[in-house]
Amino acid sequence: MSIAQPTLRDLLYLLTIPNIGPGRIRRLFSTFQSVEEIQQAPLQRIMAIPGFDRKLATQLRTGGNWKVVEDQLRRIHQHGVRYLSIWDERYPPLLKQIPDAPAVLFYKGTLPSRWPLALAVVGTRTPSTYGRTVTQQLVQSLVQHGICIVSGFARGIDTIAHTAALQAGGFTVAVLGNGIDRIYPAENKHLFNRIVENGLVISEFLMGTGPDAPNFPRRNRIISGLCHGVLVIEAGEKSGAMITCDYALQHNREVFAVPGPITAPRSMGTNRLIQQGAKLVRHIGDILEEFPSIPDTTNEPKSSTPNIPETLSESQKRLLKNLSFEEPRHIDQLVLALHASPAAILADLLQLELQGLVKQLSGKMFIRI
């Protein structure tokens, strides 16, 4: 018997039954063609499938909720959500290989016709200036080499990674720990819409599911499963990023870590990963050498001056040239260097910040991004 291509309605019904996870759903449809056939089958036939005892087999008869199914179908249509089952040829091939791959993924955005090489970029929700800068620079370089950036849409490193990928014209995938009709964190609404327009947002959770704590470790297995490797930038020893790395090791993925100060709690996890054998990342070349199919152009000659948009005014261009990606500069330093009034410089800084080229830090410090 060929494996069935279940309908969305049947998949949703099974998802409303407690203790029916992805593996059991896949095993059911390797034997049966539909929920109707499952419910008409003798209990003994269901119990012959690995993982099903009498209690669970009985639940399949009456344990689902068709009202929830109809509500889910309504919400899916209302929010313009599409879905992808594991039996679909477009399902991410790497994700399909993990033991507990989701039976169904809900998504918004563009589904690649051919999945590119992907790297997960994860880390703390409260990054330092160093962490922000490193994330932006590495992601920009990864995108320039055609690498898809995958992350979890959380505050901090995740948000910076998605944003940097979009700014560099790359493709990014956001994996949610809640229903795809819920935007969490709420301040990322604009980013959510940008990813839908230029990337992909996915979730395995039913519509309306909130961002509850148990959901995020489940989400992290998908982040790892989608990718060829995981890059960690600033993470505590007991952070979600470390859970993603645990999955990466189980999935036989590469693990990369950016080192940080030994005195910084947010670098304890990354430094520990390096101590345990993760690849230390100093620059993009350390990542690319693990993927021989991607040409490493990091040693090719480059302009010593980063690109500056031609649309800027002359004063804004001079100001940008006096700002660093690594070391923040105080407004007083800029006044002395540019021989301009504080008011004029602050006005230019505001315009540069609105364009996403500069970030203001505490104490009237500014850094280029």
Residue-wise pLDDT tens digits, 229-282? 999 999 998 889 999 999 999 999 999 999 999 999 999 999 999 999 999 999
pLDDT in the model for residue 305:
45
Among 99, 98, 94, smallest CA distance to 112 is for 94
Q: Are residues 21 and 149 in the same domain?
A: no
My answer on whether 267 and 168 are in the same domain is yes
Within 49-148, residue ranges assigned H as helices are: 54-62, 66-78, 93-96, 129-144
Reported as a single tens digit per residue, the pLDDT across 109-151 is 999 989 999 999 999 999 999 999 999 999 999 999 999 999 9
Look at residue 99 and tell me if it is in a domain.
Answer: no
Q: Distance between CA atoms of 72 and 280, rounded to whole angstroms?
A: 44
pLDDT by residue (tens digit) across 322-361?
A: 887 767 888 988 988 898 899 999 999 998 888 888 888 8
Do 282 and 135 share a structural domain?
yes
Whole domain around residue 32: which residue ranges?
1-75
Mean pLDDT of 28-49: 93
The whole-number pLDDT of residue 357 equals 87
Residue 217 has pLDDT above 60, yes or no: yes
pLDDT at 219 over 80: yes
- Tally Cβ neighbours within 10 Å of residue 42: 9
Question: Residues 275, 333: one domain?
Answer: no
Question: Is residue 247 domain-shared with residue 353, that is, in the same domain?
Answer: no
The partner residues of 120 in beta bridges, in order of sequence, read 150, 230
- The per-residue pLDDT for 353 is 87
Whether the pLDDT of residue 3 is over 90: the answer is: no
Total H helices, total E strands in the chain: 17, 12
In a domain, 89, yes or no: no
Residue 305 lies in a domain: no
Both 244 and 323 in one domain: the answer is no
**Which amino acid would we find at residue 206?**
L
Band of pLDDT at residue 296, cut at 50, 70 and 90: low
Regarding whether 228 and 141 lie in a shared domain, the answer is yes
Is 81 a domain residue? Answer: no
Task: Please return the burial class of 171, using the count of CB atoms within 10 Å of its CB with bins 0-12, 13-18 and 19+.
Answer: buried
- What's the predicted TM-score (pTM) here? 0.80
